[in-house]
Structure 1
Amino acid sequence: MGEIKKLQIAAYGDAACVDKLLSKISAMINPSTYSLTYKAEYGSADETNASDPTMVFTGMGDSDLNLDLLVDGTGIIPIPDKQTVDGYINKLRDVMFSYQGDKHRPNFLKISWGDFVYRGVCTSVTTNYKLFNPDGSALRAEVKLVIAKSLDFKTKKQKEKKNSPDMTHIRTVKAGDTLPMMAYRIYGDPSYYMEVARINGLSSVHAIRPGDELYFPPLKKG
């Protein structure tokens, strides 16, 4: 009988969860269930005097992985690295939520369990304490995680396979490039640079370096 594979949560510094592994943690006990929620967004067609609504697809909405992890310190199953329940939970929170100072955001996450792989960002961690030692320290707890699906721009573009000039653009910053200059090349108007900076999570319109990849989405003009 093969070794039991534990669910693993890995934190990355890059949105693709490929190059910059920061930390990782394995589930103490594999979950008995998990749930996936996928959402699509629709809006009513802009019609006058319509007898019935016609829903028009506007984009994919937020999609979530809901995961419950049990942490047990009764000794039935050893906690990895001889940690306490509180110590394991603190490490788990650190993996989920560590703040990247250079990126001005928490970690990107990859959850792996067998053939199941899910990439996203953690939106909430809720800990329910179930059992306590005589001194009040935690002996058993259930940790509820919500991870919102998030793909990097390059992977998303490849997945969508949209080649229209009005669709998404990924551009690599070259020496001498400025954000207004790049916005002008894509949109024919440099004034869109602030919106591009916001969408890419830049702390400043000057916070670009040669080699950076920037996402230029379809934008409404005028």
Structure 2
Amino acid sequence: MDGALLKLTILPFLTSRTFAGGPPSGPPFVAQFNPTELTDSYEVNFQNETKQGDSGEPAKQYYIKPRNFTFELMLDGSGVTSATGFPENLPSTPASVIGQIELFKLTTGYNGKIHRNPYLLLVWGPFFVTSVLESYSINYKIFNSIGLPVRAILSATFREHKDDVLGNLLDNRSSPDVAHAHLTGEGDTLPNVVNEVYRDPGRYIDVARANGLNTVRALETGSEIVMPPVRSA
């Protein structure tokens, strides 16, 4: 197998709904060397309901922030690497370092067609994430005799991005006060599905009306059922 296929690859897209079928909007960035570390940050935000005089507060979950992913990538201009894939001799030319930095900016940077940075697909083996660039920094390590960089570390942080429709399905939201979709399984019936979500099988009439259904028998496996939110009185 071509080793390039195993390298971390970043693909840009103009919209967040073209990840699956649309062509990339620009050149891909393929890491020269795979990162040795990946930081996956997950954070839950809690609603503060502390009143004056309280000694504590309940941990009431408010929302889950998008995950952040941080990579550190080595950029080397020597053309000479060790058996591990990393440079072992001092580099002699800055060409590949500067070129890789400019390619990274071209792939992830501001796009005038959409007046924002592009949506990005990060692919590395089983790692497959839709995201946007949040920040990056470059630590220049070694320079040649005229001050051009010949080795650098690119540290980039990406914020997970989920399209509204895709996000609801991936999150598998099941709260009865949030509209979401349910993918039916084998043997599912509308009353059973409705009871699982709302804890009230009597709501199946509302769900049937929202989906244009006229049956309460077994549903077609793999079909998508819209579960409308519960409206408070």
CA contact (8 A) 2:174 2:180 kept: no
Give the alignment of 1:104-115 within 5 angstroms.
104-115=115-126
Give the alignment of 1:69-148 within 5 angstroms.
69-77=73-81, 84-101=96-113, 103-148=114-159
Q: CA deviation at 1:167?
A: 3.1
* 1:45-81 CA distance string (max 9 Å, x none): 4778756421111111142101011110012159xxx
TM-score by length of 2: 0.62
Tell me the secondary structure at the aligned position of residue 28 of structure 2. strand
Higher strand residue share: 1
CA contact (8 A) 1:100 1:107 kept: no
Q: Measure the CA separation in 2 of the matches of 1:168 and 1:91.
A: 41
Q: CA deviation at 1:113?
A: 0.7
Q: Measure the CA separation in 2 of the matches of 1:136 and 1:14.
A: 40
Q: Measure the CA separation in 2 of the matches of 1:151 and 1:123.
A: 15
Q: Measure the CA separation in 2 of the matches of 1:49 and 1:154.
A: 43
- The residue that corresponds to 1:41 in the other structure is 45
Give the alignment of 1:1-222 within 5 angstroms.
2-4=1-3, 5-16=6-17, 17-18=19-20, 19-22=22-25, 23-45=27-49, 52-77=56-81, 84-101=96-113, 103-162=114-173, 167-168=178-179
Identity of aligned residues (%): 22
Q: Which has the larger radius of gyration?
A: 2
* 1:33-53 CA distance string (max 9 Å, x none): 111101111113477875642
Q: CA deviation at 1:83?
A: 5.2
Q: Which 4+ residue blocks in structure 1 deviate beyond 2 angstroms?
A: 44-52, 159-170
Q: Measure the CA separation in 2 of the matches of 1:32 and 1:87.
A: 22
CA pair 83-139 structure 1, distance change in 2 beyond 3 A: closer
Please identify, of 44-53 and 134-143, the stretch whose mean Cα deviation from structure 2 is larger.
44-53
Q: Measure the CA separation in 2 of the matches of 1:141 and 1:151.
A: 32
Q: Measure the CA separation in 2 of the matches of 1:125 and 1:51.
A: 41
* 1:178-203 CA distance string (max 9 Å, x none): xxxxxxxxxxxxxxxxxxxxxxxxxx
Gaps spanning 5+ residues in structure 1: where? Answer: 171-217
The amino acid that maps onto 2:100 is Y
Q: Measure the CA separation in 1 of the matches of 2:50 and 2:141.
A: 52
CA pair 85-166 structure 1, distance change in 2 beyond 3 A: same
Q: Measure the CA separation in 1 of the matches of 2:51 and 2:170.
A: 32
Count of residue pairs the alignment pairs up: 166
